[in-house]
Amino acid sequence: MATLLLSAAAAFAGPPADRHDDTKRLERATEVFSEIMRTPDKGIPEDLLNKSSCIAIIPGVTKAGFVVGGDYGKGIVTCRRPDGTFSAPSFLTIGGGSFGLQIGVERIDLVMLIMNRHGMERLISDKFTIGADASAAAGPVGRHTSADTDASLNAEILTYSRAKGLFGGLTLDGAVVKQDKHENHEFYGRDVTSREILMDGAVPVPGDAAPLINALARWSPEKQ
């Protein structure tokens, strides 16, 4: 009887707290990306989205990180599969470095476009430093801005921020990006590497991530 009661309690307890946090992070990332792209004439250029290999979204970076150091924010990244569709998400953190002119802003949302294979390889490493291990530039803004710019031609990563309703390119030199192995384990229920998730196609897209993948596919249906 006691065993039955414990089983029933576990069934109604819902998902583990960490996985619930991961699901909320996915929901927030979906909101951030969709809101940015719906802003008239101020979104990420669609031609750049279509050329990108991976898209990382880190919602709600807080000012506290600028003061005390450590992880500034937690987010997700998804990469394109060979058929052009987006992979399951991998969780990551970002911290350190210079966040451009954002000092004094309470919260910002970050978006990073990883533009080529070398940037992808850096991304799936345990950690890398933006500007040192991978070249980066503030991304150009505008729904139809031409991708033929120095930034898009030369940078491995294009970076953007949104704060207080304002959206634009952002420099992130010195920021350290790390794969969040703990969150990946909690979300997928097993040890799985970022390479397996993002590049090998070994992990199917879970239902909790479908809204994000659908939003990305709506604005960027294929890699050019």
| Average confidence (pLDDT) over 117-139 | 87
pLDDT at residue 147 greater than cutoff 80: no
pTM: 0.83
What was the pLDDT predicted at 214?
95
Distance CA 222, CA 224 (A): 6
What was the pLDDT predicted at 10?
37
Helix (H, G, I), strand (E, B) or coil at 90: strand
**Better pLDDT: 207 or 117:** 207
| Average confidence (pLDDT) over 31-41 | 87
Q: Under 8 Å CB-to-CB from 197, ≥6 apart: which residues?
A: 87, 88, 89, 90, 184, 188, 203
| Average confidence (pLDDT) over 161-167 | 79
Q: What is the torsion angle, in degrees rounded to the nearest 10, for the CA atoms of residue 90, residue 59, residue 31 and residue 82? A: -30
Q: How confident is the model at residue 153 (pLDDT cuts 50, 70, 90)?
A: low
